[in-house]
Structure 1
Amino acid sequence: MASHLIRTSLRAFSRPAFKAVATTAAPRNVIPATRIMPMITRPIATRFYSSGTVDSDLVHKLEEELQYEKSNEESAQPEFVKEFLQANSFQLEDKVGHDEVSLVRTFGNEKIRILFSIADINNAGPAEDFLAEGEEETEDDVAPSFPVRASITVEKDGKGAVTIDTVAQDGDMAIESVMFYKENKLANEQSAEADWQRRGLYIGPQFAELDENLQALFARYLEERGVNAALATFLPDYVEYKEQKEYVHWLDSMKTFISA
């Protein structure tokens, strides 16, 4: 009760002074001083940038690796790439930072795309894995190439598309499956919707179970379109070349990020 009387008397004491100063009514949206002060006195947040103790060592090692790899890197496009593209009608589509590569061309009224990935370099095993039991490796032995999966899509406008999955190894293109799509987009589109639609489609018979003459004709069908021994030799070589380029790019990107 006493505290209530004190607060009341203080308000009564201060009210006349207030009226003497405030000759006009204050706008309703004026923020009281007691609410403004905390906003003014609140400390401003400051960002602190710090560097880990390992950063400089990691950057130094990345730079060492980068310089070593660059010293062994070919400055221009390798001859085997130039020779293959000059001898064939394919155009190369290769984006830095992507692990998939495409070879594209036209054949009459067809659009042909060959898609492969550098991830297949992980399928390469030690040379001794390819030796027969009891056989020893010699200097003249050439290690077989690792298998590279290549998906060949042949499109015709308004007629659908055929996708033929193959494996390239040791100069041979082995066919694994042949699929037909009534809609061209289902053969190429990489969306979740297209993937869902493909799941419900009949993908075709087991290729190895087809009549041998039919298998041979499919192989000749691809050969006419440039899917041949030259391509089978080119794919593993390009995968190795591309993987090396991406590794150098990765080293440079990591060094730039860590040192920033």
Structure 2
Amino acid sequence: MSFRILSKNVLRSAVRAQPSATFVAARFVAKPLAAQTLRTFSASSMKLNKDNETAKLVEILKEEIQVELEEPQVTTIPEKLASYDGFTIVKNEINSVNLHLVKEQGDEEIHVFIDVDELINGPDVFDQGLEAEEPVAEEEEEFEPMEDLSPAKVQFAIIDKTKNTALSFGINPDFTSGDFTVQSILPFSDPSLLLSEKAEDFLKKDLTYAGPQFSNLDENLQHALLQYLHSRGLNVEFIEYIQDLATHLENQKYINWLDSMQKFFK
């Protein structure tokens, strides 16, 4: 990422600096013919540089794609990641950040919705909080653990087919410990709203009350809800699985993104 940003800034500086001296000289030339000659030379020079920079971009993109493709099975999903403990991939579009997993379990359907890019590349609230803290030398104070208030990167939803209702838990996994934090709990009287991808339904879900902060709930209720999630397969092993799967899929999307840019610049 930093290399691409640096390249962009260097290119921008070069483009801004190049034409000024030539055109200023052209404005003060008394003879129209001389001015015309200067302008023609400048335009040709700019076109040549433009073509050269585009060719460089294509070559760099090509090299980056080749490096990414050196890893075995990078363009396919390995068998060990295709399914896990009954969870299978039902939706994964190459140009989309959304990943959808499903598991059938008796009278229940368990749906997992993952924002692949946010899960892999998004900021870690706990790390940011630790970096921002400055040690206090004068006296020691006790601090409560900082609660993760960032938007949920994973939705773990259970549909009860007999009651035709659903409950969706917004969670943020912690890949260091294999644990997770509960961000929201959203009940659905109609599971079709949970599964809908219509824009107006996304708005409805965003505006629906999702309960207080999980840590503000009664401790017995917190414990019972966590036990419920564990019984539905949300455990350390599943956290590790979605990390491995999302990392692999994000790499595929990155290669496709590079290829799309390469096609544009060619």
Counterpart selection for 1:250 from 246, 253, 257: 257
8 A Cα contact 1:173 1:227, kept in partner: no
Superposition deviation, residue 196 in structure 1: 4.3
Q: Is 1:164 the equivalent of 2:169? A: yes
Q: If each structure's helix is expressed as a fraction of its own residues, which one has the higher value?
A: 2
Superposition deviation, residue 180 in structure 1: 0.8
Larger radius of gyration: 1
Counterpart selection for 1:214 from 203, 221, 226: 221
**Match in the other structure for 1:152:** 156
Secondary structure at the counterpart of residue 238 of structure 1:
helix
CA 1:199–1:229 in structure 2 vs 1: closer, same or farther (change >3 Å)?
A: closer
The code of the aligned residue for 2:102 comes to V
Q: Distance between the aligned counterparts of 1:205 and 1:256, measured in 2?
A: 48
Q: Distance between the aligned counterparts of 2:128 and 2:207, measured in 1?
A: 42
Superposition deviation, residue 205 in structure 1: 3.3
Superposition deviation, residue 154 in structure 1: 1.3
Q: Distance between the aligned counterparts of 2:205 and 2:251, measured in 1?
A: 34
Q: Is 1:89 the equivalent of 2:90? A: no
CA 1:129–1:221 in structure 2 vs 1: closer, same or farther (change >3 Å)?
A: closer
| Greater Cα offset, 165-174 or 235-244 | 235-244
Task: Provide Cα deviations, 1:182-211, integer angstroms capped at 9, x if missing partner.
Answer: 122222323233244445543323322222
Secondary structure at the counterpart of residue 208 of structure 1:
helix
**Match in the other structure for 1:107:** 105
8 A Cα contact 2:186 2:208, kept in partner: no
Q: Is 1:235 the equivalent of 2:235? A: no
The count of residues paired between Structure 1 and Structure 2 equals 194
Q: Aligned-pair RMSD on alpha carbons?
A: 3.3
TM-score by length of 1: 0.63
8 A Cα contact 1:149 1:167, kept in partner: yes
Q: Distance between the aligned counterparts of 1:183 and 1:111, measured in 2?
A: 14
The code of the aligned residue for 1:194 comes to D
* 1:9-48 equivalence runs, <5 A: none
8 A Cα contact 2:152 2:183, kept in partner: no
Task: Provide Cα deviations, 1:9-56, integer angstroms capped at 9, x if missing partner.
Answer: xxxxxxxxxxxxxxxxxxxxxxxxxxxxxxxxxxxxxxxxx9951332
Superposition deviation, residue 149 in structure 1: 2.2
Superposition deviation, residue 217 in structure 1: 1.3
TM-score by length of 2: 0.62
Q: Distance between the aligned counterparts of 1:177 and 1:148, measured in 2?
A: 8
Q: Distance between the aligned counterparts of 2:207 and 2:130, measured in 1?
A: 39
Q: Distance between the aligned counterparts of 2:264 and 2:227, measured in 1?
A: 50
Unaligned 5+ runs, structure 2: 1-46, 136-150
Q: Distance between the aligned counterparts of 2:97 and 2:206, measured in 1?
A: 24
**Match in the other structure for 2:199:** 192
8 A Cα contact 1:151 1:166, kept in partner: yes
| Greater Cα offset, 155-164 or 188-197 | 188-197
8 A Cα contact 1:148 1:235, kept in partner: no
